[in-house]
Structure 1
């Protein structure tokens, strides 16, 4: 019996300070996604907790910690709560477009505003336009950058870009690689709750396409930065016994 693709070679990164838990170090195991079977490999690895970054699939492989847990939303059973329903109505006028993974100056400007406001000291804070283009355009799998725009003006010109998400379509769901949005919530015409709305749009989009899951990446219990991921129910986490539903504390 012939395997559909050659078993990949895996590598391990040098330990570095953990960005989520003070005093901890992180280490990742990774492999290259390339060739005719990159999509199949990415799908298979995604089901066991790997994430994609450009042409690499990776997952945590820390020596003294297993806090990072892969989580995914079950799309056909998702029912928005009251706050989420209000956000769907509030942002229901947005024009949502699944674009090819090509970057624009407008996307990069929005990313810079988002990073400066939400993650000023993060690892992406110094990202330039070339780095951004690499993140979006270097993909060996089916990828979109989904744009969220305000309605067109009277002359038909596209409305203001207020959000975007780099998204992979896998055989069993959508994988949200990275989302960013207008961080200004204090000015007239501001749109609070965009991050939540973008996730809900992906859940509803996946459900319409009969894709059973939306992959949200890693969740760390007790990390305030990660708490938003468990507000979308039902949710599953990857355990040594496979994917299991769980009920985290309401955050």
Structure 2
């Protein structure tokens, strides 16, 4: 298959496979390669059009009989954390997030394996090696960053580089209109901290600081309990056949 950059992207369709989210459903995806000097621009356009990125591939669902996967983005300028989210922020006030170039480390991979072994033992990523992890982080032609969340060392100054325990990691794309969360993981033994929620709230704050309007959360799958959390971050927009429309959790779009 040709992966060289071309003036216009070439799209391909996957064969049907068992849906990992909804029982009894089959999934198909349309995808293209994100390579060459226009990769970042193309990633912006495709993400805004409902695609997601995995390494140097942009994909979106193209299922024959199901439209349950819906792209979600948070409207950061209007967002106000609910009481439970404010408690999460307070509980994690001792964590410092630092953005780095997309470079893997042994420490990151160790945390990644602990997360997979606890949360995704039967998932498609369950057998990923250190090399697989490095490829996931590094194989990008777009503006990708990795954010390390570490426990603040007592006595460290505001400008000091945090050297405390690595508690969570987020791989995210910096786009023209916001941040797109590609993948995140955390120490599974720290459930009480709600680190998944904390990382989303941190991305909202970072995006607002950048003066950009959106945080892209990927797909909300209607009917999938494990995807329900994405609708908690209001207000948000969902991509419909009519374009991006405001969504209300109690009343739909």
| Coarse TM-score class (shorter-chain normalised) | over 0.9
Match of 2:217 in 1: 216
SS at match of 2:88: helix
Match of 1:174 in 2: 179
Match of 2:44 in 1: 43
The aligned length equals 242
SS at match of 2:152: coil
Matches within 5 A, 1:185-204: 185=190, 191-204=192-205
Query: Segments of 4+ in structure 1 off by > 3 A?
Result: 153-157
SS at match of 1:123: coil
CA offset at residue 209 of structure 1?
A: 0.5
8 Å contact from structure 2 (residues 91, 193) kept in 1 = no
SS at match of 2:182: strand
Match of 1:9 in 2: 10
SS at match of 2:110: helix
Matches within 5 A, 1:51-200: 51-152=52-153, 158-185=163-190, 191-200=192-201
Match of 1:244 in 2: 245
CA offset at residue 170 of structure 1?
A: 0.6
Q: Provide the aligned C-alpha RMSD in A.
A: 1.6
SS at match of 2:77: helix
CA offset at residue 248 of structure 1?
A: 2.1
Tell me how far apart the structure 2 counterparts of residues 15 and 222 of structure 1 sit (CA, whole Å). 20
8 Å contact from structure 2 (residues 75, 237) kept in 1 = yes
Tell me how far apart the structure 1 counterparts of residues 141 and 71 of structure 2 sit (CA, whole Å). 22
8 Å contact from structure 1 (residues 45, 57) kept in 2 = yes
Instruction: Give unpaired runs (5+ residues) of structure 2.
Output: 1-5
Tell me how far apart the structure 1 counterparts of residues 15 and 248 of structure 2 sit (CA, whole Å). 34
Match of 1:230 in 2: 231
SS at match of 1:79: coil
CA offset at residue 168 of structure 1?
A: 0.2
8 Å contact from structure 1 (residues 153, 159) kept in 2 = no
